[in-house]
Amino acid sequence: MEETMSRIVAKFGGTSVADLDRIRAVAARVKREYDAGHEIAVVVSAMAGVTNDLVDLTRAAHSMHDAREYDVVVSTGEQVTAGLLAICLQEQGIPARSWLGWQVPVRTSDAHAKARIEKIETEEMERRLSDGQVCVLAGFQGIGPDNRITTLGRGGSDTTAVALAAALNADRCDIYTDVDGVYTSDPRIVTRARKLDKITYEEMLEMASLGAKVLQTRSVELAMNHGVPVQVLSSFEDAIGSDLPGTLVVDEEDIVEQEIVSGVTYSRDEAKITLMRVADRPGVAAAIFGPLADANVNVDMIVQNVSEDGTRTDMTFTVTRGDLDRAIEILEARKDELGFTDLVPDADVVKVSVVGVGMRSHAGVAQRMFSSLAERGINIQVISTSEIKISVLIAEEFTELALRALHTVYGLDAA
Ligand code: ADP
Ligand code: ASP
Ligand code: MG
pTM listed for this prediction? 0.93
Least Cα distance to 186 among 11, 400, 394 occurs for 400
Least Cα distance to 149 among 97, 107, 98, 86 occurs for 107
Same domain, 121 and 219: yes
Dist CA 9 CA 39 (whole Å)? 9
Same domain, 202 and 72: yes
Is 339 among the domain residues?
Answer: yes
Ligand nearest to the CA of 407: 1
Is 365 among the domain residues?
Answer: yes
At 230, phi and psi to the nearest 5? -110, 140
What CATH number has the domain bearing residue 355?
A: 3.30.2130.10
Same domain, 242 and 286: no
Is 2 among the domain residues?
Answer: no
Is 276 among the domain residues?
Answer: yes
Residue finishing a domain among 223, 253, 283: 253
Same domain, 159 and 273: no
Is 1 among the domain residues?
Answer: no
DSSP 353: E
Dist CA 187 CA 412 (whole Å)? 12
3-class secondary-structure state, position 273: strand
Same domain, 305 and 282: yes
pLDDT at 1: 44
Same domain, 304 and 398: yes
User: Best mutation site among 44, 51, 55 for ligand 2, i.e. most ligand atoms within 8 A of its Cβ?
Assistant: 51
Q: pLDDT tens digits for 103-126?
A: 999 999 999 999 999 999 999 999
Same domain, 218 and 301: no
Greatest extent of the chain over all pairs of C-alpha atoms, in Å: 79
Q: Give the other-Cβ count within 10 Å of 415's Cβ.
A: 4
Ligand 1 contacts (CB < 6 A) are 13-16, 45, 155, 177-179, 182-183, 185-188, 212-214, 263
Same domain, 141 and 17: yes
Same domain, 263 and 384: yes
The bridge status of strand 134-138 relative to strand 141-143 is: unpaired
Beta-carbon-side half-sphere exposure of residue 29 (alpha carbons within 13 Å): 30
Is 16 among the domain residues?
Answer: yes
Same domain, 297 and 224: no
DSSP 195: B
Is 118 among the domain residues?
Answer: yes
The tens-digit pLDDT sequence of the chain (415 residues) is: 445 789 999 999 999 999 999 999 999 999 999 999 999 999 999 999 999 999 999 999 987 789 999 999 999 999 999 999 999 999 999 999 999 999 999 999 999 999 999 999 999 999 999 999 999 999 999 999 999 999 999 999 999 999 999 999 999 999 999 999 999 999 999 999 999 999 999 999 999 999 999 999 999 999 999 999 999 999 998 755 556 689 999 998 888 777 899 999 999 999 999 999 998 888 989 999 999 999 889 999 999 887 778 889 999 999 999 899 999 999 999 999 898 999 999 999 999 999 999 899 888 999 999 999 999 999 999 999 999 999 999 999 999 999 999 999 999 999 8
Same domain, 268 and 319: yes
Q: Are 391 and 352 in contact (CB under 8 A)?
A: yes
**Ligand 2 neighbourhood includes 154 CB (under 6 angstroms):** yes
**Ligand 2 neighbourhood includes 13 CB (under 6 angstroms):** yes
Same domain, 264 and 249: no
Beta strands in 7-153 (DSSP E): 7-12, 39-44, 96-99, 106-108, 117-120, 134-138, 141-143, 149-151
Residue finishing a domain among 219, 253, 287: 253
Residue 365 structural domain: 258-415
Dist CA 190 CA 97 (whole Å)? 40
Residue finishing a domain among 253, 271, 286: 253
Measured CA angle at 411 (ends 410, 415), to 5 deg: 155
3-class secondary-structure state, position 281: coil
Distance between Cα 213 and ligand 3 center (Å): 6
Is 324 among the domain residues?
Answer: yes
Q: pLDDT tens digits for 47-102?
A: 999 999 999 999 999 877 899 999 999 999 999 999 999 999 999 999 999 999 99
- Number of structural domains (the chain) is 2
Sheet architecture: strand order including 342-346: 299-304, 312-319, 271-279, 342-346
What CATH number has the domain bearing residue 174?
A: 3.40.1160.10
